[in-house]
Structure 1
Amino acid sequence: MLDTRTVRAFADGFGGEVIRPGEPKYDAARAVWNGLVDRRPGLVVLPDGTADVVAALRFARERDLLVAVRGGGHSIPGFSTCDDGMVIDLSRMRGATVDPERRTAVCAGGALLSELDEAAQSVGLVCPVGVVSHLVTADGGIVRVSADENPDLFWGVRGAGANFGIAVSFEYALHALGHPVTHGTVVHPIERAGELAQLFVQMAETGPDELWLGFYVRLALPVENFPSGIGGRPIAAVSVLHCGQPREAERDLARLSAFGPPVAGSIEPKPHLTAQRLGDVAAAWGHRFYMKSAFLHSLPEELVDQAVRHAHGIPQGAEGEFGFWSGGRAIAQVPEDATRRALP
């Protein structure tokens, strides 16, 4: 338990804000995106810059405090908060700066995706993935990590593990996108789930790099968005996003169109920023989220059958679903040992 005098001395020399249990802002400061997660940190600190992050981390190390880092607060299992320890909340460190000549963007550690999207699209660019990060390491040092600088640490933060340090800024490579994307969902009766799953796999395996697909088995919710007799019932659906020209998307999605008229949904050209925001309402803060995931090399018929069977058991009104996202293509071109240790 931290004594008041120690915390006050730290707060007096801290450039940002320090919030303790019992203070008026505490409950709002400790809240995270997933409503299932309800933890009570001993301190929440909001740095104004990198120097504050260093000071907070050193204070925590000297007192052996557990540290959780909150960027957007969207960690599904709640890793962006903790009980009793210190939450370093980067939400004051916002903003994205784009260099259109180099096609790069630099984002502060607490920047949200919308900030990056809007800054990049203002000059006809987009960003699907990060390439460089700047860290405050666990011992309070400030380093730059990339494929060329501190490559072992760069390998670590790309997916080999957690708690290597705190990212206070990221540098991203950008790509040109000056036309609409083709995006949307088609919904079919649950009885066609097996056929639709087969088509999803075929398109994922043979389609171009520009095409992403998702296959879902879920309830048709909200009810008012679906025709009578469909709303609230189990359905099968495929979502797509094609970043090529609309005429190329129409060609590459022809098999999905030929599958038959959907009972609901639409796939159409739309601005990239519109597509990026379509999940905001469904993924709003405060919902109680529970998820499990795994990687699959294929989509067996038996797995689809199980998803269909369990979909019929989802309680009425519940927003549960079974979702399968296509991977590979450009992602698969990254060597496996680039982001995790290769298995013997």
Structure 2
Amino acid sequence: MNNFDYQKAATVSDVVGKSTFVAGGTNLIDLLKYNLTNAATLIDINTIGEHHDILEIEDGVRLGALATNADTAYHPIIEQRYPLLSRAILAGASAQIRNMATNGGNLLQRTRCYYFYDPHAPCNKRLPGSGCSAINGYNRNMAILGTSENCIAVFPSDMSIALSALDAIINIKSEDGERSVDFADFHRLPGDTPPIDNNLKPGEFITSIDLPLKGFAKNYSYLKLRDRASYAFALVSVATGLELDGDTIRDVRITLGGVSHKPWRVKDAEHYLIGKKADRENFSAAADIILQGAVGFAHNTFKIKLAKKAIVRNCMMALDPSTQLPGAQPSA
């Protein structure tokens, strides 16, 4: 871990155009310890007076980038109008980390691929052109969708899976002004540039995240399948929101986590379901569409079958969110 200067910022203008800033530090400190990020100056943005709040706006709700994950998950507006987001956040990390981690930082966290953190292992994310150790190595937790010959790492965020399903918008500020990015366009697949995780430009700063009016508060579910219930990243996760007219699907959102370098959402599958009966058969057909092109590696081929079962189960759970209580069973 290299030595660095430490500064505190008073306004967003103090940090735009700068290279490295810290809020909760729940991922950044790890990156510093493993020399994956080397900052000459670390700027503390917690002291910025704005962007800590969660506010109702004309077209929905605005989440401050500096609001913590815990404050967001337990906020009455989020619990009541966007329970899918609240459930997803609470499925991530531990209570202590959620108390520190910020909304903006959650979007920017890097993969937890063990080869990325191992300085002795070739890794194209860490050292472009060196190779991807995971492809022929131990790859149980790695991606099955959107992979490339350069990288099969997965994006670890739970919060982002729900934000993808909700069609959130990310607001960004830089020295050149402000811009907004659809959530679907923010994170990137590895392709030929695995070190680049997202489309945030150097010197830009996430100020807030906007949620649209539609929150799927009546029919929703977040399912996270992992090796242990406490503080583990997803093997497969699914965020589902449904809008129903009787047993007919009027609108639907389905996003997968733990399977790709970005939240994985296939709108063709959602379009297929609109107007159809909300049942296992149709959810299974939609799952097949979502998983088209999925490719397993030596140790993670099981994820393809697991993901299909997770999609169907989660969609059925969304028909009756009370099935998400401990010990409850999915709707028949």
**What interval of TM-score do these two structures reach, taking the shorter chain for normalisation?**
0.3 to 0.5
Q: Larger Rg: 1 or 2?
A: 1
Normalised to the residue count of structure 1, the TM-score between the two structures is 0.35
